[in-house]
Amino acid sequence: MGIFDIHAVRKDFPILEQEVYGFPLAYLDNAASSQKPIQVIEAMNDYYRQDNANVHRGVHRLSQRATDAYEGARSKVRDFIHAKSDKEIVFVRGATEAINLIAHSFVRPMLNAGDEILISHMEHHANIVPWQMLCDEIGAKLIVIPMTDRGELDLSTFDDLLTSKTKIMAIGEVSNALGTINPVKMMTRKAHEKGIPVLIDGAQAVPHMPADVQDIDCDFYVFSGHKMFAPTGIGVLYGKEALLEEMAPWQGGGDMILSVSFEKTQYNVLPYKFEAGTPNIAGTIGLGAAIDYMNSVGIEALAKYEQDLLVYATNKLTAMDGIRIIGTAENKASVLSFMIDGVHPHDVGTIFDQQGVAIRAGHHCAQPVMQFYGIPATARASFAFYNTMEEVDALVDAIEKVQELFA
C-alpha cells in the first residue's frame, strides 16, 4: 500500500484495453457506472461455476458455501464503511432502493401533514423523488438547502432549516453533477443537536474516498455497487441497529420471516428482516470482491491519485479558451462538468465519442442543478483510479476538435 501503480491497476481492467473508432478508449463516465476488475468478474464466475445454490436454506454443501460467501461479503461491507455490526448492513438493489426503503419504513410511519423533509439543491433525483412522493402523499413539505454559484451548499441559513418539524435530513456526500464534497459530518452533528435523523447518500463517495459511518455518525448511509467496481443490481443500506430494529419490514416474503402461520408472522432478525426473497447472491459476492480489490490497491492511495488526476484535468481545462467549468467547489472529487461556448453538450458527447472519449452529456439526473445554472445539460467527465493523465490529454484533444468543428 501507499505506492500506487497505475500500470498494474490497468491490467486488472480488461475492458479498458480497446479501441473505439480507431482511438484508444478513454472511459471518463465513471460517475454513471464504473468498470469491473478481473478479480470481481472471476469471483462471480467462480460462484456460478462452483458454489451456486440458494442461501440460508440448504443443509447441503453448496448452499453452505454460497451462504458463507454471501455473509462474508456482508462483513467486508461492514469493515469497508466501518459499521459496528453485520446486522447494520442490508443488501438492496442500489442507492435508489435503499432511499425508498427508508422513506417507506422509517419516515412514512412518523410523518404528518405539515412536517418537513430536508434535502439539498444538488441531490440526485434518487434523493429527491422518493421524498417528494412521500410529501405529496402525506401533505408534508420538502425543504431544500440552497447552493452557491461555485456549487457548494449555502449553509448560511442551515440552522434555521433544521426545525422541530424536520423528520429527516437526506444529503449526498458527493454531488454526481458537480463533484462537490459536502460537509456531511458537520451537518449531521447539527441535525442531531435538534434530534433530526440523517441519511447520507454515499453513492458518489465510496468509489473515491474512505467511508466511515461512525465518524460521520449518520443514521443511514446508502450506496450502489456498480459505481464502486462491483456489478449492477447490488447496493447497501446501512442503518444504526437500534433504528433498523424499530422499523417495520418493507417487503414481505421468504427469508425475512422466522415463522409464518395464517394468524401471525414473526419477522426475522436484522438484517434479514429487510431482505425478502432470494437475494442477488452473485452480485453480493462481486461487491465483496470489489471491496477486497479496493483495499488491495489502497483506498487512501487511490484517493490521492484521483485528486492528482482531477487537479491536472481542472488545470488543463481552466487554461483553455471558451470552456466554463460547472462546479468549482473548494472540495471536489472525481467530477469535471463543463460547457464549451456555443456548443450544446449533446454535440460534444457525440464528437467526443468519435475520438474514443466516453463522457456523459445530459442533466445527470440532477435537473435542479441544471436549472440553478440556467443550462439544459452539461458535458461531464468523471474519473476513477484507473484513468490516466494521457486520458485527460485525450479529453483536451477532443475539446479542441469540437472547437475546431464549431469554429
Give the distance from CA 283 to its chain's centroid: 16
**Residue 358 engages other proteins in binding (rule: CB under 8 A):** no
Point out which span in 7-15, 76-84, 94-102, 182-190 binds ligand PLP (CB under 6 A).
94-102
The correct pick among 74, 76, 104, 124 for binding ligand PLP (CB under 6 A) is: 124
Q: By CB under 8 A, how many residues form the interface with other proteins?
A: 20
By DSSP bridging, strand 360-362 and strand 335-340 are: unpaired
The correct pick among 361, 366, 381, 394 for binding other proteins (CB under 8 A) is: 361
Of 253, 195, 172, 211, nearest in space to 89 by CA? 211
Sign of the torsion angle spanned by Cα atoms 223, 229, 232, 236: negative
332 forms beta bridges with 180
**Residue 151 engages ligand PLP in binding (rule: CB under 6 A):** no
- Select from other proteins, ligand PLP, none the partner in contact with residue 224, using the beta carbon and a kind-dependent cut-off of 5 to 8 Å: ligand PLP
Point out which span in 20-28, 129-137, 200-208, 260-268 binds other proteins (CB under 8 A).
20-28
**Residue 279 engages ligand PLP in binding (rule: CB under 6 A):** no
The correct pick among 207, 337, 362, 395 for binding other proteins (CB under 8 A) is: 362
Q: Shortest Cβ distance from residue 226 to ligand PLP (Å)?
A: 6
**Residue 343 engages other proteins in binding (rule: CB under 8 A):** yes
User: What are the cell numbers at 105?
Assistant: 419504513
The correct pick among 176, 355, 387, 403 for binding other proteins (CB under 8 A) is: 355
Tell me if the bond preceding 183 is cis, omega within 30° of 0: no
What angle separates helix 61-81 from helix 281-297, to the nearest 10 degrees? Answer: 40
Q: Which residues contact 43 (CB under 8 A, 6 or more apart)?
A: 285, 286, 288, 289
Q: Scanning residues 177 to 216, which ones bind ligand PLP (CB under 6 A)?
A: 201, 203-204
**Residue 344 engages other proteins in binding (rule: CB under 8 A):** yes
Q: Shortest Cβ distance from residue 21 to ligand PLP (Å)?
A: 26
Q: Scanning residues 30 to 69, which ones bind other proteins (CB under 8 A)?
A: none
**Residue 400 engages other proteins in binding (rule: CB under 8 A):** no
Comparison of 292 and 347: residue with beta carbon closer to other proteins: 347
Sign of the torsion angle spanned by Cα atoms 92, 27, 303, 123: negative
User: What are the cell numbers at 1?
Assistant: 500500500
**Residue 360 engages other proteins in binding (rule: CB under 8 A):** no
Q: Shortest Cβ distance from residue 358 to other proteins (Å)?
A: 12
- Block residue for cell numbers 472529487: 333
- Block residue for cell numbers 442543478: 369
> 135 catalytic, yes or no?
no
Cβ burial, residue 159 (10 Å; 0-12/13-18/19+): exposed
User: What are the cell numbers at 394?
Assistant: 485525450
Comparison of 53 and 396: residue with beta carbon closer to other proteins: 396
Catalytic residue among 6, 41, 129, 365: 365
Q: Report the length, in residues, of the chain.
A: 407
Distances (CA, A) of 117 to 122, 138, 162, 381: 15, 12, 9, 32
| d(C-alpha 390, C-alpha 370), whole Å | 30
- Select from ligand PLP, other proteins, none the partner in contact with residue 126, using the beta carbon and a kind-dependent cut-off of 5 to 8 Å: ligand PLP
**Residue 392 engages other proteins in binding (rule: CB under 8 A):** no
- Select from ligand PLP, other proteins, none the partner in contact with residue 395, using the beta carbon and a kind-dependent cut-off of 5 to 8 Å: none
| d(C-alpha 232, C-alpha 216), whole Å | 26
| d(C-alpha 176, C-alpha 370), whole Å | 12
User: What are the cell numbers at 150?
Assistant: 461555485
Task: Print the binding letters for residues 220-239 with ligand PLP: x by CB under 6 A, - otherwise.
Answer: ----x-x-------------
266 forms beta bridges with 259
- Select from ligand PLP, other proteins, none the partner in contact with residue 95, using the beta carbon and a kind-dependent cut-off of 5 to 8 Å: ligand PLP
| d(C-alpha 299, C-alpha 175), whole Å | 20
Catalytic residues: 365
Binding stretches for other proteins (CB under 8 A): 21-23, 343-347, 350-351, 354-355, 361-363, 370, 376-377, 405-406
Binding stretches for ligand PLP (CB under 6 A): 94-96, 124, 126-127, 172, 176, 201, 203-204, 224, 226, 365
